[in-house]
Amino acid sequence: MKKLMMPLVAIVLAAAMLIGFTGCNFSVKPTNPDGGKVDADNVVGAEVNLTVGTLVRSDEQDLMQTWINAFQKKHNTETDKKISIKITEKYDGMPDIITMDNRGSLPDILWTAGDQHSNYSAAGYFQDLNNDEKFPGNKEFFSDFYEALIDSTHYSAEDKGIWFVPRDYNRIVTYINKSALDAIGVDMPSADWTWDDLVELCKQVSRYVKAPIEWHTWPPLYTTMLTNFGGAYFDNNGKNTLNSAATRECYNYINFLFNGDEDVTPKVKPYAIKGEGGLFKGYKEETMGASSPITFDVRPALPDYARTANNGRWELAVLPFPNFQQGEDKTPGFTGAGCSGYGISKACTDSKELEWAWKFLQFCMSEEGYEVVGGLGNVCPALKSLANKGSWRDYKVGNVQVDPDAFIATNTNDIFLNYYNSVKPGIHSDIQDEVAVFWSKADNSSFSAAIEHYDKIIADILKK
């Protein structure tokens, strides 16, 4: 792949480079699966009462409430009411966990994210689900989860704990407006496409739009590109290794995607423009030049894109992330894979409540549990056994239905997104912030200026 890309990279390296961005978190993009609301099935007089905290967004609440209703129905009868589960906290993000704890309202079960939990898990907010005595059957239960997701449950490179149950398998995929390609007479790529195929597609499409790709300002996407170029943030000993030739090459290539090249003939137009999905969703054939027919995202965004495509009467397609082939032998490249999930908090201390909290999470992330929420469309199951079956594969909005295999493709290797895990947990959030700042300059600053600032700040953070 790199060999095939070098002509483009060489063009970029011959020119002055600039770059830019703002960050958002993996699998925490705003969606609303069906626009509706799932009402709570309240249970009065149950033997055990559990509380749950989840994100404030309606899609997150509806997903959890759907699981709650199904689990309560499964375990309660008119005469024997074993379990009551209620969503008692709706929060904006993980920092709110500290606020809930300080005011004494920490729920028994908490939403978390694989790339955000480390500081909180290391600080004791979650219980270790790898404890055989407290959580019987855990080894067998977790054996069916994708390896990259289990990796994300640890809070450091040395940690062996499992601090939450992964909920979804979120590989970065490529959303494509097929109607836009049809309108300009460009064929859809095949599912086994490479990055070179994407570049060729961009060359064809760039004549008709401002930029073919709407590039999300999103650290997992930048980290995926960095890994494909052979760069890394830290080594196994926690040493800062971002300042490298591989990073420079990646940074300058991304700059080329954003800026094109005025100094060659014929002129190379930009292939990417920053955005959070609005340009992609804003497609209308009569104003196609103002939209972008390609964007990179994850499964939770599917309902929003599908609904927009259905309302706009255009055809939505999803392909795997393009294979950024490695080396002369063109071995498969890498794609970021992350997840959200739910942990049992330190507030759940009663033995009976702990038992039921574990039963509930096992139900949610089981074949039965995934079948319950498959119709919502925003979850690709975290279980390998459900890769090729289950209602999640049949999701449809009106006439819009996409290929489910794109979300579980094996054309590339999963990469572990917790790139900071070789350094102590207490500074992970600070490092994530600086990584976001570094990539935010990728369309308007030189690599030298961006890396100089990054190295200085990271050096200070590592001293903490």
The full set of domain ranges for the chain reads 2-25+171-336+413-462, 48-169+339-400
CA–CA dist 426, 222 (Å, integer): 23
By DSSP bridging, strand 316-320 and strand 83-91 are unpaired
What's the pLDDT score for residue 217? 87
What's the pLDDT score for residue 403? 97
Measured CA distances, 23 to 185, 271, 452 (Å): 35, 20, 20
User: Are the beta carbons of 90 and 61 closer than 8 angstroms?
Assistant: yes
Scanning 349-427, the segments in alpha helix (DSSP H) are 351-364, 367-373
Residue range 208-218, pLDDT digits in tens = 999 999 999 89
What is the number of other CB atoms lying within 10 angstroms of the CB of residue 445?
A: 19
The CATH class of the 48-169+339-400 domain is: alpha beta
What's the pLDDT score for residue 262? 66
- Written as six digits, the tokens of 260 are 């094109």
What's the pLDDT score for residue 304? 96
Q: Which residues contact 239 (CB under 8 A, 6 or more apart)?
A: none
Q: What is the architecture of the domain spanning 2-25+171-336+413-462?
A: 3-Layer(aba) Sandwich (3.40)
- Written as six digits, the tokens of 303 are 């309902």
- Written as six digits, the tokens of 430 are 């600070």
Question: Looking at this protein, which amino acid is placed at residue 421?
Answer: N
- Give percent helix, percent strand, percent coil of the chain, each to the nearest 5: 40, 15, 40
User: Are the beta carbons of 104 and 113 closer than 8 angstroms?
Assistant: no
Dihedral sign for Cα atoms in the order 416, 91, 131, 371: negative
Measured CA distances, 95 to 45, 249, 379, 418 (Å): 33, 35, 24, 18
What CA dihedral angle connects 72, 76, 78 and 81, to 10 degrees?
Answer: -100
- Look up residue 40 and give its DSSP letter: P
**Beta strand spans in 148-297 (E):** 165-166, 170-171, 173-177, 213-215, 272-274, 294-297
- Written as six digits, the tokens of 359 are 């039963």
User: Are the beta carbons of 117 and 126 closer than 8 angstroms?
Assistant: yes
What's the pLDDT score for residue 416? 85
Angle, CA of 109, 98 and 301, to the nearest 5°: 60
- Written as six digits, the tokens of 87 are 């969503």
Chain centre to alpha carbon of residue 348: 28
Question: Looking at this protein, which amino acid is placed at residue 404?
Answer: P
- Written as six digits, the tokens of 144 are 């069916």
Q: Identify the burial level of 257 via C-beta atoms within 10 angstroms of its C-beta, where 0-12 means exposed, 13-18 middle and 19 or more buried.
A: buried
CA–CA dist 328, 345 (Å, integer): 49
Question: Looking at this protein, which amino acid is placed at residue 351?
Answer: S
Instruction: State which residues of the chain have pLDDT below 50.
Output: 1-33
Residue range 403-436, pLDDT digits in tens = 999 999 999 999 988 999 999 999 999 999 999 9
* Residue 416, beta-bridge partner list: 337
CA–CA dist 108, 112 (Å, integer): 13
What is the number of other CB atoms lying within 10 angstroms of the CB of residue 190?
A: 8
User: Are the beta carbons of 225 and 250 closer than 8 angstroms?
Assistant: yes
What's the pLDDT score for residue 26? 43
User: Are the beta carbons of 60 and 342 closer than 8 angstroms?
Assistant: no
What is the number of other CB atoms lying within 10 angstroms of the CB of residue 265?
A: 5
H-run or E-run covering 84: strand 83-91
The model scores a pTM over 0.75: yes
Q: Which residues contact 324 (CB under 8 A, 6 or more apart)?
A: 1, 194, 195, 225, 228, 333, 334, 412
User: Are the beta carbons of 422 and 462 closer than 8 angstroms?
Assistant: no
